[in-house]
A and B are shown apart, each in its own frame.
Chain A
């Protein structure tokens, strides 16, 4: 008995238990120390698996030099995220700091990787929508729309006019809801608590309407190949009318509360500046491009759905700083209100879904559906092989390209500005990692 007790009191470490459990499989269990020792050589995509010579930590292409006229300290690395609230998702940034000044930064992503593109190869075309909703979970309608456009182009499906208009209407409502979920928290990042709550009021109003029409508040699965899944209801029209009556006045109120605030202006003007050249080089799209002075909007320049029937302005700014991006988006919401009003006034009668077989078989070929999502250019590229499932489906995530820019904008800023700077690119890690 005593012998047994002494045996029992020598505990196995959790590592030993794991090793016993996985003894028969090919899984190799390594300790944190072993992992750390091998980390510097881990995951390199070079031919010999070792890091290339002469690179620095963090490994980024933009790095600022020490200023000889300023007091400098020993540089140190700060790990920000992936649980940091201001990264708006699961972003991990490794910052190299000289005191409070950021010298270089490197973004690490992948914590939300679910293999959506791989899973898509095992789903039928009708099932893809609910999967792609999970990519950009804030603006599901736009990912669904890009997917539907690509599928319809390959399968040569004629979409009814009413469905085209409903896609525009729901897309714009989703755009407003998505913009509010960004503008409010950007205020929060820069120290304004109240505006977050005010803007959530507007977001809730739009979400109520989305819920009324699609049945969901976030993962809509509303736009399908061939049209949309549900018609707009009289109650939804009433809700839109009621909210639109106060919508523009509320935008003016937000302008007075946040944009006119001197504190907010000092936190955002001249900070996080993306130059026009950087925006083009790093593949920026959407509001980042427009806030940096590039007049480009896919809704106007490559009209899809029924966008060629609507009147709206493309809002641009030249400054490229956080404030410019904020103003750009507030103006976009105002334009969205215009489009929604035109939608309700001229919504054509008729079917909202084309006649399609239960199982859609798409002829072999390739097509790309491109839409202007709230975060920028959102594209879905489909390779079809003639069966009911795609051979490959690729989502072009706008914020993966915005992440490139964040790495080049942060160096030179103060640590306190990094939070609002990172927030100002509106990352959605569901779509970066997919």
Chain B
């Protein structure tokens, strides 16, 4: 069970940074959840949250939900012992803006997210594939199916 965060603290920080259309809710399992309508505002929102005391970006990952890529960032304040999850939606092939300026921990995770879901990456110091070779499909998209060794042999 995630520990919830004070909504007014988050709202004030996001408002001061000019991040509009951010919806703050309490998720029963994930704790406090911030959903950004505009994925381009992610770096600004994360910079604002870092200034508000969230020292660490713990986790960065994506998921293919209903034909869109859902990028999730899990932040933590060690001093307050609270977590907040920030989430945004991107279309297939959209461009993800890197958050490495505020949180360097996303350096490898963002590369993995983009290659696994077929996104492009801007603002990253080394926007290169991480795990797979060039030409490999975005594996974690639902449209990319699993094939057995026999199926591969039959097709070739």
Contacts and interface: CB of A to CB of B under 8 A. Distances in A.
Interface of A: 21-22, 24-25, 27, 42-47, 51-52, 55, 59-61, 106, 109-110, 113, 115, 117-119, 122, 153-154, 280-283, 285, 294, 296, 301-302, 365-368, 377, 379, 381, 383, 391-392, 394, 396, 400-401, 403-404, 407, 433
Given A392-B63, A394-B63, A400-B108, A45 B120 contact: yes
Contacts of B131: 109-110, 113, 433
B76 to A, nearest CB: 9
A40 to B, nearest CB: 11
B128 A59 contact: yes
A280 B122 contact: no
Contacts of B30: 366-368
B52 interface: no
B140 A25 contact: no
A404 B27 CA distance: 30
A400 B139 contact: no
Contacts of B125: 55, 59-61
A117 B130 contact: no
Contacts of B139: 115, 118
A302 B35 CA distance: 24
21 contacts: A22-B156, A25-B155, A25-B156, A44-B129, A45-B127, A46-B122, A52-B127, A61-B125, A110-B129, A122-B146, A154-B29, A280-B56, A283-B103, A283-B105, A294-B78, A365-B29, A379-B59, A396-B59, A400-B109, A403-B108, A404-B107
B126 A55 contact: yes
A282 B105 contact: yes
A150 to B, nearest CB: 8
Given A283-B58, A383-B65, A109 B105 contact: no
Contacts of A52: 127
Given A45-B111, A400-B108, A59 B56 contact: no
A381 B120 contact: no
Contact of B128 (A44, A283, A401): A44
Contact of A392 (B64, B107, B130): B64
Nearest to A279: B56
B67 to A, nearest CB: 13
A283 B73 CA distance: 12
A298 B119 CA distance: 33
Contacts of B55: 280
B132 A113 contact: yes
B52 to A, nearest CB: 15
A102 B103 CA distance: 25
Interface residues of B, number: 52
B105 A46 contact: no
Contact of B104 (A47, A55, A281, A367): A281
Contacts of B156: 21-22, 24-25, 27
Nearest to A381: B61
Most chain A beta carbons < 10 A, residue from B29, B55, B155: B29
A62 to B, nearest CB: 9
B78 A296 contact: yes
Interface in B107-149: 107-109, 111, 114-115, 119-122, 124-134, 139-140, 146
Contacts of B3: 302
B27 A366 contact: yes
Nearest to A396: B59
Given A55-B126, A59-B128, A396-B58, A46 B121 contact: yes
A402 to B, nearest CB: 10
Nearest to A432: B108
A401 B61 CA distance: 13
B112 to A, nearest CB: 8
A118 B107 contact: no
A391 B142 CA distance: 9
A368 B146 contact: no
Contacts of A407: 107
Contacts of A383: 63, 65
B64 to A, nearest CB: 7
Q: B57, B78, B131: which has the most chain A beta carbons within 10 Å?
A: B131
Contacts of A119: 146
A283 B1 contact: no
A247 B120 CA distance: 52
A3 B129 CA distance: 50
B49 to A, nearest CB: 14
Q: List the 3 closest A-B pairs by CB distance, nearest first.
A: A283-B105, A110-B131, A43-B129
A228 B77 CA distance: 33
Nearest to A382: B29
Q: Which of B30, B108, B155 has the most CB of A within 10 A?
A: B108
B140 to A, nearest CB: 6
A74 B140 CA distance: 43
B95 interface: yes
Given A42-B134, A45-B114, A283 B121 contact: no
Given A113-B132, A281-B103, A44 B127 contact: yes
Contacts of B8: none
Contacts of A294: 78
B2 interface: yes
Nearest to A392: B63
B133 to A, nearest CB: 7
Contacts of A47: 95, 120, 122
A22 B155 CA distance: 10
